[in-house]
Structure 1
């Protein structure tokens, strides 16, 4: 299989709209999202001095407001060719003008919102087929934050409540945009306690890799394989491949689940992971923990 020439940058979120004196540390990092931090890193990954960026707020319930926020944020960072592509439905996605704009784009960014909204508008369209083709055959950078990140997977968590325990039946999945066929992405990961629901999604779909992203945190994926963490928080790689014992397939729904050998890698800025080899890559040579 040919390695994609493009890059994927799923980001954990989150788009803040207001500030307050009572802001927590995570909320402060969230506000910095629209500053120079992770968006500037996204720009640095585009191999062009004056890139054309298409922002697609199709996941959002307030796309015009979301579009204006990104337009201002990128303008503040010096981007001159920033365009907002409003897509109302699947027919609108396949508008020839939108397909032409996609061909001209150096980078595409899907905003947050509800991943089901985004998937319903793009799944099985000519637009998503062209996006997949452009990602494979040229150096297109595709980023997504929150819902835009989750939708990149072949399978997406449609619904799934967080819980203190691993409970069977808490998760529903749906078909995603298939830019990341071997991965399930979950966002706002530690802030919303989503390890149990991502683990169940993996138990329901053996062989996939779970990637949990905290806010103001993302990963850059090159060649469809090499993953590197960016941002101020953590990126969690979750694997159930080495589990030998679980009652997941025997117990009825809403019962607690046990599982041995759940494997979790925690990436911080600069650390990496090879998806095909399932191998952790430190950001620099370090001594092994004894």
Structure 2
């Protein structure tokens, strides 16, 4: 079987109105005829977050919903949790803290089951932290120290569902252009994808299509001609870059991740 679709959401997706993105997730899950799982591990309030998605998914037509309650690596190693995930047609990863997701799940029996199920066709959706975790690498945090104006970007490993890729979310709304550019500056093969709120990409194979209200940005440094990073007097890393290619896409547009190019024009 082919790997399952990935519905990667930039956060703050519509749950009561403008539910196009979550409608698509439920449509994909129903096509496979099994239960929908909700993984709220990233959240500090998992019960509340899970209840919100259960209510939304039921309203949108989900018949069977399972909560994958994992708040420790011990639970992530549990045979019962892996068995529950093995029966799902789709899994939704909620927002919260992506480092918590990685620390509690990466390298466990649950991760192995999740990856195996996705490799054989299970749909995975994720929003905010649940979006960032899907890349091979992820931005854990970034901050500019007000006193010295120093940008610090903290990176970690993601789940690796998308190789050579970094996903960033809440992109325009939280002014994350600089941090994503900074994250890909040192690795030419890595693609950076910045997804706005209430916006998503649906990845099938090597292609994705944009859904939702706003924009998706793709940063591609494969054909860059120059990158240099200097350390300023205040300790800040300041980059000079040339040849970084930027693509911006809106609803209905498709992109080829292997060829790194736009696939369609307006109306096609």
Fold agreement, TM-score > 0.5: yes
What is aligned with 1:202?
A: 184
1:50 Cα deviation after fit: 4.7
Structure 2 stretches lacking a partner, 5+ long: none
Matched, 1:79 2:62: yes
Identify which of 270, 274, 282 aligns with 2:256: 274
1:191 Cα deviation after fit: 0.5
**Which structure carries more strand by proportion?**
2
Identify which of 210, 215, 236 aligns with 1:229: 210
Whole-Å separation in 2 of the counterparts to 1:7 and 1:125: 22
Tell me, what secondary structure is at the counterpart of 1:116?
helix
Whole-Å separation in 2 of the counterparts to 1:91 and 1:218: 32
Check the 8 A contact 2:144/2:150 in 1, yes or no: no
Please give the residue correspondences for 1:31-110 in structure 2 after superposition, counting only pairs within 5 Å.
32-35=14-17, 36-46=19-29, 48=31, 50-110=33-93
Check the 8 A contact 1:59/1:111 in 2, yes or no: yes
Runs of 4+ in 1 over 6 A off after TM superposition: none
Whole-Å separation in 1 of the counterparts to 2:129 and 2:79: 25
Whole-Å separation in 1 of the counterparts to 2:16 and 2:196: 16
1:58 Cα deviation after fit: 0.3
Whole-Å separation in 2 of the counterparts to 1:90 and 1:259: 41
1:126 Cα deviation after fit: 1.4
Structure 1 stretches lacking a partner, 5+ long: 15-29
Check the 8 A contact 1:11/1:219 in 2, yes or no: yes
1:49 Cα deviation after fit: 6.9
1:34 Cα deviation after fit: 4.3
Whole-Å separation in 1 of the counterparts to 2:265 and 2:3: 23
Whole-Å separation in 2 of the counterparts to 1:187 and 1:232: 14
How many residue pairs match? The answer is 262
Check the 8 A contact 2:30/2:62 in 1, yes or no: no
Check the 8 A contact 1:113/1:147 in 2, yes or no: yes
TM-score normalised according to structure 2 size:
0.91
Please give the residue correspondences for 1:1-290 in structure 2 after superposition, counting only pairs within 5 Å.
4-14=2-12, 30=13, 32-35=14-17, 36-46=19-29, 48=31, 50-136=33-119, 138-161=120-143, 170-223=152-205, 225-248=206-229, 250-251=230-231, 253-282=235-264, 284=266
